[in-house]
Each structure stands twice: as C-alpha cells, then as structure tokens.
Structure 1
C-alpha cells in the first residue's frame, strides 16, 4: 500500500476502512515484525476478536501471504466459565488446528484456583467490582503467563505473542494514532507492537507482543467470523457459532459482550440473554439462576465477620475492622447442590434434544470442593470461629476504639 493511500486511511473524514484494507494492514503488521521473531504464540480466549485473529493468521500462513514462523503455539485460555456455545466452538477450532499440525496448549488454572473450587471449596466470596475482583487474574492471566514462560524456556530465540486486542475504527478516524502505533519504532497502522520484559529469570528481552487487528472495525470482525472464515477458500473454520453467540446478523446492533457464565461482575446477563433468543440454545435457560446465586452468597447470612480489633503480625491494627469474610460451610454445600441441579437440568434436556451438554463442574472439581468443605477449609486469616455476619456486635473503629452495642432486639419468648 502506498504512503499516499495509508495517509488517506488515517485522515480525518476519510472514507471508512473496507474489509480488504483491514486485512492489508494486518498483513503489513505481521510482515513488519514477524521475521524478527522465529517463534510465534497466539493468545486465544475463544471470543470474537481473538478468534478472528487466530483464523485470519492461519489463513494468511496457509496461503503464503505471510511467511510461517519456525514454531507456532496457540494458547487457549480455558477458564472453565465460558458460555457453552463459545466453549463448543473453541473445541471444534482446536480440532481443526490439530488437523493442521498446529500446537495447541489448553491453559487452565490449577484445580484449587479454579472459579468454582475457589468459591465453594475455599469459601472466598464471589468477585465484585469494588474490593474483590480476583477472577480475571486468577483464572486467566496468571495461568496464561505461566504457560508462556514455560514455553519460552523450551525455545531458543525470541517469541512474538499475538493478541486480539482491537481498538476499532474510531482510533483511526479520530487520529488517535498513538493507540495504534507501536512503542518500538512501528509505523502508524502496523498494529500495536511493544517489547515485553517478563519478570521470570532468564526470559528478559525475549518476548514482544503484537495486536495485528487493532485497527479492525467491529463489523469486519463479524463479517470475517460469519461469512469469510467458514468458507473453504479461507480455511473452513468453525466460527459461525461464535458470531451467533454474540447475536448473529444483529451482533453489531446488540453489541453484546461475552464473559463468564453468570458473571458476578456484570449487572445483566446480556450475552446469555442473547444466546437464549436462539431456539437451539434455549435449553440453557436454567443458567439464568447462577447470577442470583452468586448475589445471594454475598449476603451477611451466608458469611463470617471479624468480631473485634484485628491485630496484624507487626502489631498494627488491620484496616476495615469487622469486615465480612468467607462463605459458611453449609452455604457452600447449598450452592454446590444448586449448581449441580442446574447442570443436571440442562444436560437432561440436552440428551432429550440431541444438543451438546455442559460441564460447569466436573467430577474432579466436585470431589475437590467436597473434600475442602469436609476439611473445613477457610481463606488465609480466617479459622471458622468468627461470628456469622448477621450477629450483632460492638462497633469497632479503624483506630481500635470500640463503641458498645447499646440496643439489642430481644426475641419474644
């Protein structure tokens, strides 16, 4: 593409990027940086942007539009919480990758760190958007980092980690070029390239990241997933289900974001609601009961509370005295049984309808949850002797002073 043409793309008021323009800029991005890194990795979540990135790059390699690296590793982040259509599509795409001889690493958190086990087995409350947003790092970022560091140790030479980060057309049209420029001498429009220095010993300077679809418009993502990638000439990828999970032909208008099933951090289950509009997935309706369950487990009647002044190891007073803490053992069992019931209802319907079953809590996870509950396991800093959070207590302030409880309602006898 000529300098004049590239300048036109970024000019204010320029005509909108066409699909071929977006693909061409992606090719330029990969040609600019790919050769400097003998090994490539692709971070893949199963969502729309990373799936478009993965399938497009595979097509570009297969057709010789970009040279293949010495090695290519696809890292699939399996959180065990994905919406069923996305999880099913991911498995189909993994099968297609393996047929092509592509190395796929399924990255999952260690058993005791998985979402369901951490909440129900250890008693950690469901994440929230204020003080306890632990889920993304624990079930996705940390496992992916560990898998990448292990792969780096197995390889000689630099690694280019490719992500599906996408800023969208507005970053180009509004001339916010800094969002799409590299941090290491990249030309405008060549993707977001930056060198990363992993903290792990011996890995410094060996890793860089690139977001080659940074400039793609969302309509191009839908177009690729729904109409281009499934064609034999573009790779025959199982991406239609992904587009359908976001709303199909109406995906751009709905603008649904997908996340974990029954995500405690979202105010509404928009992605699940969108999926349930499709008759083929309507049997997943019992999943609508998951979010209310997480909300209930955060209530005081299901949790412990620190009773008085809490001293730390250095003798100082802990902040946030009388804070609510972990989930009661009996409440964890209640939640486990409810989730297993939801899973059984869905799978019974799936068998009857000939549809895919779900695997929210597998046998290994269930056994571990029950084992941790039976062992009366509590998060660090809690021993289970603390009062239930509904128990009336003297008021303790952050400076350690105490205001005695003046009034206590006495039940009728």
Structure 2
C-alpha cells in the first residue's frame, strides 16, 4: 500500500492519538525540563528533517527569553559522501543558520568530519585496509561514530551533560523497535533515556512513534521553517528508491550502502542502487564514481584476494583459520594503483560534472598517506608526489625530510645486498627506519623495544608459510579460482 505521495504506507498513525500541537507541547516540555543543551543529528533525510522541523516549530512558539539553551545541529560528512548530497547538505546547513539568526532561534548547524588519520582514503590507500564489508566495517567507527561522539563529548565537557535528539523510529526495523521499546536506561517520569555508551549523554527521539507515512504527511503538509522544499526531498526518495543514512553514534546502526544519503565508496552492499538511480536520472557525470566503486568492490572476490592483499596482517603476523590463509592489507603496489585510479576519477568528474574543482581526496590526506608509506611501508621511492604529478600535472607543497630519508636508489642497493645474504629486504628496511625515526633524539628510550617488535614479525615468504602450515600453494589456489 502506498500513500498519495507515492511513498510506503504503514498503519497505526501517531496522529490517531496525538495532534501536531500535542507533539510540539511535548518537545517544549522536554526542552524546558533541564539545562542540558541539545544536539540534533541531521543527515538531510526525511526522519532527521522531520525531527529538526518539529523541534524548530515547537521552540519558535516560546518567548525568546525562554529559548534558554543552545540547540546544536550536526551533520556527519565522512568526506566520501555522494557529491550531490554534500552540496545539498552544505546549502541546507547554511539556510538553517541564516534562518536561525533571523528568527532569534538558539540553533547552530555545522558538519562534523573525521580526523585526517581516520579518513577513508588514509586507511584504505595509506594503511592498506581492504574495502569494507559486512564482517569488517572498519569505516563506520572512524568516519561516523568518532566525529559525532567527539562533538557530543566536547559539549558534555562544556555543559556537564547533553541531550542527543535523534530521528529514530520504531517502525524502521524490528531491532530499532526493540531498542526504543526497551525500558533499559529510561529516566523515570521523562521521555529521555540514558545513552548506552556515552555516560554524560541522554537520548530523546520525538518521532519514535511516527510511521513512514506520518513523516511524509508532516513534511509535505508543513513548510520548512528554514526555506527548504520538502517536496524536493520526497522526489529525491522516489527517484532513488532508497532510505536515509542517520547520524551514527554507535555500532548498532545498519549500513547506509543502499541509501542516497551515504558514501559513494560504500562496498558493504553488492550494488550501489542509489548511485545507479542518480545516473539514470540525469547525473551521468557520476558514472566514473560508480565504476571506481565497483572496481574496488571487485577486490573482495575471494578468488582474487591474493592478487591485491598481503599474506600477513598489519600486525606483521600470519593468521591461518580452518586451513586457510587469512589475508591482510592491500599490497603497497596495489595501493599505488588505487591512488592513480582515484586521481583519474577526480579528473573525470571535474571535466564532466558541475564542479570543476571537485575534490575526492584532500591535500591533507595525500600528505598523511605519503607519511604512512614512507615510515611504515618502506616506500623509499616516495611515490605519492610522483603519482600526484603524473595524474594531475600539478605538485603540492610536499614536506622535505631534513633528517635524510632513504631513496629509491638506496633501496635497490640494499635489496641486492639482502638477496645475496638471503635476508628479507623489508626486514632490514624496517630496522633502518626505526633507527632513522629516533635519529637526533636526546632520549632514545624504546629503540630496543621497537627493534624487538620488528624482529618478532613473520618474515618468511608466502610459499614458505604455506608449506609450513600445509596450505595449498598459491599456484593451486589460482588454478582453483580460474
């Protein structure tokens, strides 16, 4: 069954028992019940838009002097959001701030982003983390949970405690209903519940009893107070046939891979139907993004993993389970290929898309990737500046190492010596790097532990390891996968 808006319908409407004015009154009551500031999670999707709009209209009816505490609106930008949505979010947050100032509302909207060391590209290209999947969704905590929680904890440190206002609804899923119906953490006599991880945060979900139909009925019947067009939002959902990616503050939130409000790099789902829908609806310039995403997803094919990934883990140890070698991070050479393809994709979307300066990877991320490759992955070639110049025809203000980093020529000499002595070249390279990093230090505490850690890693080659663990040799694995 669908509504007159062409969107899914559900029974048991919240409006069977409450009016909009009743809901506004409840919000005002919760707002006035404490001195804690509010932090509203906003994604630009239907549920968070309805939540923010309800709060806005509820508080707007209060006298200015009773709007006594700040309401922070935060939108999570993973830095790999779909470009169309980034533009939409930036414009909407600007509208919210302008409208709030004009109406003397205590509302302040801003984006939260991951730290440079936690971004998608720094982890994938720099450290070699494989493309995320259902069993290893390393991206969610680093790119969504941590930035949002860092903002919330900063406000908690400033004010003592905070109220997180989220757009969770019972009708979203059985698991969401279970959480919202649970009495665990509920504050007696209040609509608030304690956050199950953040000890100084409470949670308030004003739309928890709304059905999907209720959300659209409200949004399409009540104009946006900051000047957005909610009918455009409804059209966005119809054309994408997708859901919303809410603010993520814990690991119970499902992947946003099927959502238009998610990351264009998401490989947790088999197909990015949302991006496909965008392209089908006229955004052809996004095709290079989809092709890059599909190419990255292909590296998850078990039959091809040995082509892209190291035989040992990032810890330097080998992991064998049920007679199979559990592969580690992407090989450095493949990470170089990812970087080349990413910069080529960036060139294409700049040439074909609406923004000639579209940035898929930032200068700060490139600098951090270079640092990781140089200090952790024995990139004596110093490949990042070379690849960047090759793919863009430009250069960045690269940091010059005044301690004297090793060069590609020195690595070739070292490799020749190590081959003669039958010693793993990367083992000696790692030891030399540990020494280099502490060169010039007044105190060299920890150097022996560093050396011991390097020597404690697994330095046998893959063939030797497979023979030691009685695992089929790589040639047999390749033949079985062909």
Q: TM-score, normalised by structure 1?
A: 0.73
Indicate yes or no: 2:289 matched with 1:287. Answer: yes
Which of 258, 269, 273 pairs up with 1:270?
273
Q: 1:146 aligns with which of 150, 153, 156?
A: 150
Give a deviation string over 1:216-250, Cα, whole Å, max 9, x none.
222343455566444xxx43135555444433597
Q: Check 1:261–1:170 CA distance in 2 against 1; reply closer, same or farther (3 A cut).
A: closer
Match of 2:30 in 1: 33
Higher RCO, 1 vs 2 (CA within 8 Å, ≥6 residues apart): 1
The 1:386/1:304 distance shift into structure 2, 3 A limit, reads: farther
Give yes or no for contact 1:160–1:209 (8 Å, CA) kept in 2: yes
Q: Secondary structure at 1:144's aligned position in 2?
A: helix
Aligned match of 2:309: 303
Correspondence for 2:159: 155
SS for the counterpart of 2:360 is: coil
CA distance in 2, matches of 1:135, 1:154: 28
2:377 matched residue in structure 1: 377
Q: Is the 8 A contact 1:127 1:264 kept in 2?
A: yes
- Match of 2:353, SS state, is helix
In structure 1, C-alpha distance between the alignment counterparts of 2:342 and 2:172, rounded to whole Å: 41
| C-alpha separation in 2, matches of 1:125 and 1:50 | 31
Structure 1, gaps ≥5 residues long = 1-12, 312-316, 397-401
- Cα offsets for 1:110-147 (capped at 9, x unmatched): 101111111101111122112x2211111111221121
Where does structure 2 lack aligned partners over 5 or more consecutive residues? 1-9, 102-106, 244-255, 379-449, 477-482
The aligned counterpart of 1:126 is 131
Aligned partners of 1:303 and 1:388 also within 8 Å:
no
Query: Computing the radius of gyration over CA atoms, which structure comes out larger, 1 or 2?
Result: 2
CA separation of 1:177/1:295 partners in 2, compared to 1, >3 Å: closer, same or farther?
closer
2:169 is aligned, of 166, 171, 177, to 166
C-alpha distance 138-88 of structure 1, shift in aligned 2 (>3 A): same
Moved more, 336-345 or 360-369: 360-369
If each structure's helix is expressed as a fraction of its own residues, which one has the higher value?
2
SS at match of 2:286: helix
Structure 1 equivalent of residue 246 of structure 2 = none
Distance 1:176 1:372 in 2: 40
For 2:19 and 2:350, locate their aligned partners in 1 and report how far apart those are by CA, in whole Å: 41
CA RMSD of aligned residues (A): 4.1
- 1:297-331 CA-to-partner distances (Å, cap 9, x unmatched) read 44221111139xx87xxxxx966473200111111
Matches within 5 A, 1:13-412: 16-18=13-15, 21=18, 23-24=20-21, 26-38=23-35, 39-64=37-62, 68-99=67-98, 100-101=100-101, 102-130=107-135, 132-156=136-160, 158-168=161-171, 178=181, 183-185=186-188, 193-196=192-195, 204=199, 206-225=200-219, 228-230=222-224, 234-237=225-228, 242-248=233-239, 257-258=259-260, 259-279=262-282, 281-298=283-300, 299-306=305-312, 320=321, 322-351=325-354, 358-377=358-377, 393-394=465-466, 402-403=469-470
Pair 1:177–1:186, CA change in 2 (3 A): farther
- Measured in 1, the distance between the counterparts of 2:79 and 2:54 equals 25
Residues 1:149 and 1:36: Cα distance change in structure 2 (over 3 Å): same
Kept in 1, the 8 Å contact 2:319–2:327? The answer is no
How far apart, in 2, do the equivalents of 1:147 and 1:288 lie? 32
Per-residue CA shift, 1:184-223, capped at 9, x if unaligned? Answer: 2368xx6xx3123766xxxx5x421111111222234345
The equivalent residue for 2:408 is none
Cα distance per residue 1:259-298 (max 9 Å; x no partner): 211311012212212222322x232122111322322444
**C-alpha separation in 1, matches of 2:352 and 2:214:** 36
Q: 2:389 — aligned with what?
A: none
Instruction: Report Cα offsets for 1:94-119 as digits up to 9, x if no partner.
Output: 11222224323422111011111111
Secondary structure of 2:134 counterpart: coil
Aligned residues: 361
Query: 8 Å contact 1:302–1:388 — kept in the other structure?
Result: no
